[in-house]
Amino acid sequence: MRGHRSLFNALLATVLVLSLLSAPAWAGPGHHHAGDDHPDPGKTASFTLFPGHEEVVDSVMAHEDHPWVTLELLGMSGEGRPIYLAIVADPDSPVPMEERVRTFIFTQQHGNEPAGTPAALTLLDDIAKGGSIAETLENQVLILLPMVNPDGAEKEQRRNSQDRDINRDHIGLETPEANLLHDVLNRFDPHVAMDHHEYGGVGFGHPVPVRLYDYDLTTLFPVHGNVRIPTRAAAEDLMYKGIWPKAEEAGYTANEYGEQTVAGVPVEQIAGGPDPGIMRNHLGLHNVAGLLVETFVNAQDNPFHDAARRIAIHEVVMRATLEYVHDNAGRFKAAKAESGDLNVLEPMDRYIEGDKDVPLAAAYKVPMNDTFAALFAAHGLSAGIPVMDGMVHNMDDPHQGHVAAILHPESARMVVAGEATERVEPPVVEAQAQKVSESPVVPVVTLLGLALLLLRRRS
């Protein structure tokens, strides 16, 4: 929150809320669940603008023969709906595949926040047709997941078919959809990731500026205290220097997510916390420069602030992201590498999550357990070093903050409380394997495999 909020601001907010009590009721489905980062935006009268799951699959599959596009059946939702991933790269670029920055864009973790999905499909169509945005793929690979939560989308509800909020499950990984997102993170190891959402506001919206939570676009970088500075700084630059100028140039207002405002005046910080189970923060702990992207969904009928406007804002953000990453590819690659190196060479000795600032041990021991080992594997992390009565996780790990969020007793999403212990030297054989896994050869092999796959699809 930006400084002390005056009594005037609070009174102004109260007056506005009271003045809106007689406004038409918001008929959208869903409810605000305690602890959620923002309320459900519900659906709008223009819901037909938003494609259903089958339409999304058809739209993506229309590009399966395009030489730039590799489609992958990532997996199935809880109710058995296929979830497709599009990997988009220019096979004729002079930039070697292993030198390109990898940008992951995904939408609709929350089923009733749909505006990012048609924007993603439009982006894919434009690239396939050789639009100007395709030039940004000279030095980057686009990894596009246009609908994370098809079950929620079909029901027009925030949560998935298990009645779980996917965007609170990025530590426990108890939902199939969260596991699929982490499969992408583990295999492609992106440098940049964009998580597209929507949020509900109260007021009349564009072009009337007086409303609560009153910006067309809000975005936020990871704020967990164990995100390393290079990663957070790269995410902030993408937001402030890459996205906001393009949004404002297109005529949209932009601000940081989570700050409640009235007529543009900050009143209270109501969301945007450090929860490591939220993808925005989890990306940062994984050394990915990630951002949350939200568009304003109006509670009142307003012909100026309609569904098409929301979709257009998401399109602007996606294009601005690809352009800024293209122009600053070296910055994002360096940020990822530097954060990983810091976690190994200068590991943090504090666990910092919001108001929590507590000691972080050099290592943690957990019981020998197949369930925990499987969870660490799903996160792309080592199961630890076997000892007499369990496994020890040394905290000088490239993903130190990620491991700490799973093990530290003070983590809001702690899965197993690790016992603070001394660092254990790995066996010689394991140390050699670790050295190989941290070498640049592994991602090169992965990306060369991707290059061969792209060339095969082109032939």
Token reading at 273: 């916390």
| 1 part of a folded domain | no
Residue 6 burial class via C-beta count within 10 angstroms: exposed 0-12, middle 13-18, buried 19 and up: exposed
Do the domain assignments include residue 227? yes
Which amino acid, residue 304? Answer: F
| 104 shares its domain with 32 | yes
- Residue of 196, 451, 190 lying closest to 320 (CA atoms): 196
* Per-residue b or e along 413-440, where b marks 16 or more CB atoms closer than 10 Å to that residue's CB: bbbeebbebeebebeeeeeeeeeeeeee
Same domain, 126 and 179: yes
Judgement on whether residues 295 and 391 belong to the same structural domain of the protein: no
Whether residues 73 and 130 share a domain: the answer is: yes
> Tell me, what's the pLDDT at 122?
95
Q: Are 202 and 317 found together in one domain?
A: yes
Please give the model's pTM, rounded to 2 decimal places.
Answer: 0.85
Last residue of a domain, which of 299, 316, 337? 337
- The CA–CA distances, whole Å, from 347 to 233, 386, 392, 396, 440 equal 18, 22, 16, 6, 21
- Buried-exposed string 181-190: b where 16+ CB fall within 10 A, e elsewhere: bbebbeebbb
pLDDT for 99: 97
Q: What is the chain's pLDDT, residue by residue, as a tens digit (459 residues)?
A: 444 444 434 444 443 443 333 332 222 222 222 233 443 333 322 234 899 999 999 999 999 999 999 999 999 999 999 999 999 999 999 999 999 999 999 999 999 999 999 999 999 999 999 999 999 999 999 999 999 999 999 999 999 999 999 999 999 999 999 999 999 999 999 999 999 999 887 776 666 666 677 789 999 999 999 999 999 999 999 999 999 999 999 999 999 999 888 877 888 888 999 999 999 999 999 999 999 999 988 777 777 778 899 999 999 999 999 999 999 999 999 999 999 999 999 999 999 999 999 999 999 999 988 999 999 999 999 989 999 889 999 999 999 999 999 999 999 999 999 999 999 998 865 444 444 444 443 444 345 445 444 544 444
Q: Residues 155, 170: contact at Cβ < 8 Å?
A: no
Same-domain check for residues 67 and 137: yes
- The answer to whether residue 450 sits within a structural domain is no
Joined tokens for residue 454: 């792209």
Is 362 a member of any domain? yes
CATH number of residue 277's parent domain: 3.40.630.10
Question: Do 283 and 408 reside in the same domain of the chain?
Answer: no
Both structure tokens of 404: 């700490």
Is the Cβ–Cβ distance between 230 and 288 less than 8 Å? no
- Which of the listed residues 337, 357, 378 is the one where a domain comes to its end? 337
Using the 8-state DSSP alphabet, how is residue 256 labeled? E
3-state secondary structure of 377: helix
436 falls within a domain:
no
Identify the DSSP state of 33: P
- Whether residues 111 and 198 fall in one domain: yes
Residue 305 in domain: yes
pLDDT for res 259: 85
The amino acid occupying position 107 is T
pLDDT of the residue at 16? 42
Together in a domain, 59 and 156: yes
Q: Residues 303, 390: one domain?
A: no
What is the CA 153 to chain-centroid distance, rounded?
18
Q: How far apart are CA 403 and CA 359, in angstroms?
A: 15
Structure tokens at 394: 């040394």
The total domain count for the chain is: 2
Could you give the CA distance from residue 300 to residue 27 in angstroms, rounded to a whole number? 10
- Measured in degrees and rounded to the nearest 5, phi and psi for residue 49 equal -70, -20
Domain of 136 in residue numbering reads as 7-12+27-337
Domain final residue, candidates 281, 315, 337: 337
Same domain, 375 and 252: no
| Lookup: tokens for 220 | 């936020």
The answer to whether position 323 is within a domain reads: yes
pLDDT at 342: 98
DSSP state of 191: S
Establish if 308 belongs to a structural domain: yes
Whether residues 158 and 303 share a domain: the answer is: yes
